[in-house]
Amino acid sequence: MKRSISPHIVRALVAALIAFFSLSSIHAQSNGPVVFLIVLENHNWIGTGGISGSPEAPYINRTLVPMAAVANNYFNPPGNHPSLPNYLWMESGQNFGIHDDGSPSQHHLSTHAHLSELLQNAGIPWRAYEESISGRVCPLTGEGSVDSSGSNLYEPRHLPQVYFSDMTGGRNPYSSYCIAHIRPLAELATDLRNNTIGRYNFITPDMCHDGHDSCGGNEIAHIDGWLKGFMPLLLNSAQYKEGRVTIFIATDEAANGDGPITFMALGHSVKHGYKNEIRYTHSSLLRTLEEIFKVSPLLGYAAQATDLRDLFSTFP
């Protein structure tokens, strides 16, 4: 008797092949700026329990800060909590009235007014690199192993693109577009070598490394240790050495109030060892990303925001 192959398996194999060939054929443009946005979780920058000056964060404070431009007054938008509304804000300049951490099945956004879609329409390659996803499906639900509290190491609320139907084929876990653009973080090293990264690259560590969960230790120490292990991959890359790369490191929201929260920029074009006191929010970040890539219209509250140009000696 012949055994039939499950349609789900067939769709997954086809989607994986499409994703592979899509990534292999699309190379980062060699003549334009490249941005990596690394988003961390739930810690203030300044004050009690903050990352700035923390003995639990020697790599951040002794290595990254001296080479970075730091925004000391960067806040999440007023009252914008918990995580998901802030990730959506970084992508679209608003939270669409969402004030919870619901899944993509609960918050299905049909609008095209968001950054990744603007980039796609402009022919600017983008990627999201997520720790602890399989890469075999569009990651619409929690994936991977669990931490000590039983939480999934990957949670979709930390990846705004999967909430927009134009990114996921209408919540289709086998969407070839989604699978091609949202890849496991473990693939980044190979993509850097092959120059198949995006011009815009959105990165979130898993729940044990982004500061969300304690995972048997100190949350800030987990962030610091992960950055110490990860950042040399970017800083030693050919793209960074060419001077085209800007790295933004941001926190999604404050642990207390609205901030200040962590925000710094690294790259050859930033003011190294610089700190300013200008008031910024995620709207400022989104406006700056749109200005770097020259896409429009300015989305949501980005249209009213102060951009981050003060952190740069030469704007990308």
Q: Is the per-residue pLDDT at 244 higher than 70?
A: yes
Confidence at residue 23, expressed as pLDDT on a 0 to 100 scale: 44
Confidence at residue 261, expressed as pLDDT on a 0 to 100 scale: 97
Grouping H, G, I as helix, E, B as strand and the rest as coil, residue 290 is: helix
Give the tokens for residue 68: 């970075």
Computed over every residue of the chain, the mean pLDDT equals 90
List the single range of 119-123, 134-138, 151-155, 273-277 with lowest mean pLDDT.
151-155
Q: Is the per-residue pLDDT at 2 higher than 50?
A: no
Regarding beta strands 126-130 and 274-276, do their DSSP bridges make them parallel or antiparallel, or are they unpaired? Answer: unpaired
256-305 pLDDT, tens digit per residue, is 899 999 999 999 999 999 999 999 999 999 999 999 999 999 999 999 99
Distances (CA, A) of 44 to 100, 160, 188: 20, 21, 28
Measured N-to-C along each axis, helices 282-293 and 83-92 cross at an angle, to the nearest 10 degrees, of 30
Write the secondary structure of 63-112 as one string of H (helix), E (strand) and C (coil). Answer: HHHHHCEEECCECCCCCCCCHHHHHHHHHHCCCCCCCCCCCCCCCCECCC
Instruction: Report all structural domains of the chain as residue ranges with CATH numbers, in order of start.
Output: 7-311 (3.40.720.10)
Give the tokens for residue 246: 């800007």
More confident residue, 211 or 1: 211
What pTM was computed for the model?
A: 0.90
Confidence at residue 116, expressed as pLDDT on a 0 to 100 scale: 98
Confidence at residue 31, expressed as pLDDT on a 0 to 100 scale: 74
Confidence at residue 21, expressed as pLDDT on a 0 to 100 scale: 41
Confidence at residue 211, expressed as pLDDT on a 0 to 100 scale: 77
Confidence at residue 252, expressed as pLDDT on a 0 to 100 scale: 97
Q: Is the per-residue pLDDT at 13 higher than 70?
A: no
27-81 pLDDT, tens digit per residue, is 444 579 999 999 999 899 998 889 999 999 999 999 999 999 999 999 999 999 9
Query: How many residues belong to the chain?
Result: 316
What DSSP element (H or E) covers 264? strand 263-267
Using pLDDT thresholds of 50, 70 and 90, give the confidence band for residue 160. Answer: very high
Using pLDDT thresholds of 50, 70 and 90, give the confidence band for residue 213. Answer: confident
